[in-house]
Each structure stands twice: as structure tokens, then as C-alpha cells.
Amino acid sequence: MWLYCHFPQLQLDNLLISQPEFAKQAVALYRVKNGQSLIEQTNLVAQEAGVSRGISSVMAIALYEALLLKEYEAEKEEMLLSAVADHLYQWAAKLILDPPQGIYLELKSIEKLYGGLSNTVRTLNLAVQQLGFQCQRAVAKNTLAARVLAQANTPLVINKAQAERQLKDLSIKNSGLPNKTIRNCLSVGIFSIGDLLTIPASDIGRQFGKETLVYVQALRDDLNIQRANHFYEPSEYFFQQIDLVSEVSNWQGLRFPMKRLLNDLESFLYQRQKAVQHITFQLFQRDNHCTELSVSTATASWRAQSFWSLLQLKMERSPLAAPVLELSLKASEFSQLSAKSQHFFHEAQDTQSLFPLIGKLQVKLGERAVYTPAISDDPRPGFNECRQPPCRSQAPSITPIKRPLWLQREPQSVNLNEWRLQEGPERKHCGWWDSQPIQRDYWLAMDTQHRKGWLFYESGHWYLQGWFS
């Protein structure tokens, strides 16, 4: 058994979900065919004003002067269909895309998981409803029958015999056959799909052609259509795009669409048990101008709120240069999401609470301005101090080495009579590899004011390298 989901207004529904403030206005999508602009999709307000699919855009504006028009793009609708498949993949693994507006879901393999066919269909229906898109659904024994019933918007039935009766009672005009074939069927008294199915296959092929014969055989399930190689595989990266009903010239108008994209990203990451550290918004503005807005967290995250709080800071600092017509969000380079484990003796330091603060500092000051001090393999003072990403732990040294917290910019000459040597010497004879050699003996020492310093002896003189806290 197959469930077919048909989304008749996928692009328009996505527009209105992203900008709900336009739900009470008449909105329509148009498509240019043979040099003529025709209405493709309309919302309820436009339909009540008489704007219907197939009429010209000029007539639509004459019917409703305040009609908002956007161009229909099949490619963007196919992209939305893939996002729908990503969402449904959490409940059913065997999906087949039928671009630009349909998805097949194979039911037999998951019936036991959900406790029968009825529970399976009910579960998938709830999953579809979560998306908020208009959807026409049908269940049938094969893919073509399910698609025909769904596109005709017949009542959803689970029983196989009832679905077959629905199919046979369906008008030949709703069969999905070419218009020429439908006219030929009507001219010889074939008014329903049931009438067509009663005709012998040889007569169908001779009178209506091979295409109609294949269609009938598929409806009868006489053809063993191999679809296993076409099952949908979720994308390894995230990319979603939102068209705006009307151009937006301030960040306030973009808050809702941006939050929606971040919520979709959160669902995408949670489904795959992944996390990401860098995301990028693209704002497509007037005059083909594109602005990128990148956000990076201190550590990889899958939560939408982690990115939203940083994004708000970015928006405060970056006013829009031009009105925005559409926007997209992309993310890649995912890391595996690992469960946070608690230390057995509760001694492990919890750095999770630092990450939001670090992220905000990086946004305000720049990513390079926030770092954790670390030590490199170079043994020379002034050369072995380095920077690493915040909160990244460094492997502990096998032999702990005492080093001062404060190093002098330039070593200062000192009188050894004012110091008392305590620990040393530590000889350093290195630096030959970059033509900056040193040959010194280092000591820990205490001065007359009981301050601990780091001294070294070089070329017959004593110098102060730094102070201990």
C-alpha cells in the first residue's frame, strides 16, 4: 500500500507561513506560458474575490486591484518538497519524490512499527499537519492510483476495496491523462476511470495509444514498477530559501522568517543527531545585491536559540543597505552530537555556561579577539605563548613547568645582590632553526620586597624575564 501526499500550493503556503501578516490579503502566484501571464496559485482571500487558477494576471488585477502577485517557480517548489521529505523521513524511510508537488510513502514496511495500517496513516497525517501546508492525501494499492486519488482530492479511505471504488467512480477528467486522450474517451462514452478499466487492453492500445495502455496497466497493478532505486535520501547539508510576499526594508520584518529557518535547521540537526558551529544567512536584495550574514557559536550546537541570540546582536550592528526580496540559510561541516556526561565525583568543570557569553563576545569584538591562552612546543619565552579557540582544553604536560603569568616586553637588567636565587638553573640553548638563538640559564628568585621573579643569566649579565603572581 502507498500513501500519496499532494501539496497543491506548496510555494504559496510557504510564503504565507513565513509572513503571516499577509494571510488576510489577497495573494497569488503567476506563471508565464507562451508569452502570457496566468494565475497558478491563489490564497483564500483571492479566491473569494474571484481570482482562480488559469485566468490571466490582467484579469485577476481587474477583479481585485489590491492583489499581491509573485512569480511561481517550479525549482523553488521542488526545493521545498525536499524539505518536506526531510521532515517526513523521521517517520517513514521509504519516500519517493514526485516533483514539484507530490511525495509517495510506502506503508507496508512500517505497518508493524505503528501497529497497523490505520495507525500508520494517522501518524503520517499528523506529521504532515505539523508543516502547516495544504495537503491532499490518498491511500491505494499502487503509486499511480494513490496519486490520481490524491490529486482529485477524494476523501481519504484506508480500506483497499473502498479506494478501488473511489478510483473507478472518478471522472475521466480527473485521470491525469492528456487532454486529447480525455476528449477521445468522452467522445466514445467513457466518462469514468471505471469505464476505461473495463475495456480490454488490446482495444485500449489500438484506440488510444501506448501511453494510455501503460496508464491502465499501472492502475490495474499489472506493471511491476521498480521504484526501490528511487527512494529519497536526506541531504548531507542544510539549505533552505524563503521568498517574501513583499520586500522588507528593516530587520524587524525579517525576524519571523529567520526564526522559521533556524527552527527548520534545529529539526534537521536533531533528526541526524548533528551539531554545527557556523551558519550563513544570505539576503537577496534589490538590484541583484546579496548580503551574507554569518553567525558562529563558541561550540557546535543544534539549538535554534543558540544562533538567534547571536544573530540579534549582528542585526543591531548591521543596518540593511537595501530592501530584501528573499533570504536563505545554509549550514554544513556538521559534527556528531554527543550527550553531555556528568563526572562521577562531580569535580569536572562545567564550561557549558560560558559558551553563550563567549559567543556574544565574539560577535561584539570579533572572533579573533576572544581566545584561550596556550603554550606551543617552542621552548623560548615570548615564542611559546599562543592562542587557541575559547574553552579548548590543552593536553596537560607530563612534567609541570613553572612559568610566570606576566612576561616583560623586553628583559630588564637587574642587580643580583637584590635577589635570592631559589630554583634553577634551567638551561635553554635553542632557536637555531629560525636564526634567533638563545643561550641562557633561568632561575626562580625572590627580591628584597618578597616578589617572585624569573631571572636568566646571559653573556655575563642577569636579566628579569617576568613576574609570578
Q: Is residue 360 part of a domain?
A: no
How far apart are the C-alpha atoms of 185 and 179, rounded to whole Å? 10
How far apart are the C-alpha atoms of 293 and 298, rounded to whole Å? 17
pLDDT in tens, 382-396: 666 667 766 655 555
Res 360: pLDDT: 62
Please tell me the least confidently modeled range out of 99-113, 130-144, 287-301: 287-301
Q: Which three cell numbers stand for residue 73?
A: 517557480
How far apart are the C-alpha atoms of 242 and 284, rounded to whole Å? 10
Partners of 33 in beta bridges: 36
Same domain for 137 and 185: no
Q: How many domains does the chain have?
A: 4
Domain holding 321: CATH number?
3.30.1490.100
Q: Is residue 364 part of a domain?
A: no
Q: Who has greater pLDDT, 422 or 340?
A: 422
Same domain for 139 and 45: yes
Res 355: pLDDT: 61
Residue located via cell numbers 488510444: 208
Range of the domain at 50: 2-152
**How much is the pTM?**
0.71
Q: Which 3 state secondary structure label does DSSP give 174?
A: helix
Q: 295 with 309: CB under 8 angstroms? A: no
Res 348: pLDDT: 43
Mean pLDDT (the chain, rounded): 86
Same domain for 76 and 33: yes
Q: 454 with 464: CB under 8 angstroms? A: yes
Question: Model confidence at 430, in pLDDT bands (50, 70, 90)?
Answer: confident
Same domain for 192 and 142: no
Res 400: pLDDT: 58
Same domain for 223 and 242: no
pLDDT in tens, 402-415: 778 788 888 999 99
Q: Check pLDDT > 70 for residue 98.
A: yes
Q: Check pLDDT > 80 for residue 143.
A: yes
How far apart are the C-alpha atoms of 342 and 329, rounded to whole Å? 34
Q: What is the mean pLDDT of residues 444-466?
A: 92
What is the 8-class DSSP label of residue 25?
S
Nearest to 310 by CA among 379, 238, 370: 370
Q: Check pLDDT > 50 for residue 347.
A: no
Q: Is residue 223 part of a domain?
A: yes
Amino acid at 422: Q
Cβ-count burial 239-254 (b if 16+ within 10 Å, e if not):
bbbbbbbbebeebebb
Res 315: pLDDT: 85
Domain holding 59: CATH number?
3.40.1170.60
What percentage of the chain exceeds 70 in pLDDT?
86
Q: Which 3 state secondary structure label does DSSP give 311?
A: helix
Q: Which 3 state secondary structure label does DSSP give 48?
A: helix
How far apart are the C-alpha atoms of 338 and 97, rounded to whole Å? 32
Q: Which three cell numbers stand for residue 37?
A: 501571464
Last residue of a domain, one of 183, 213, 234: 234
Q: Is residue 355 part of a domain?
A: no
Res 444: pLDDT: 93
Same domain for 249 and 199: no
Same domain for 25 and 126: yes
Same domain for 25 and 140: yes
- Angular region, 382: left φ>0, alpha ψ -120 to 50, beta rest: left
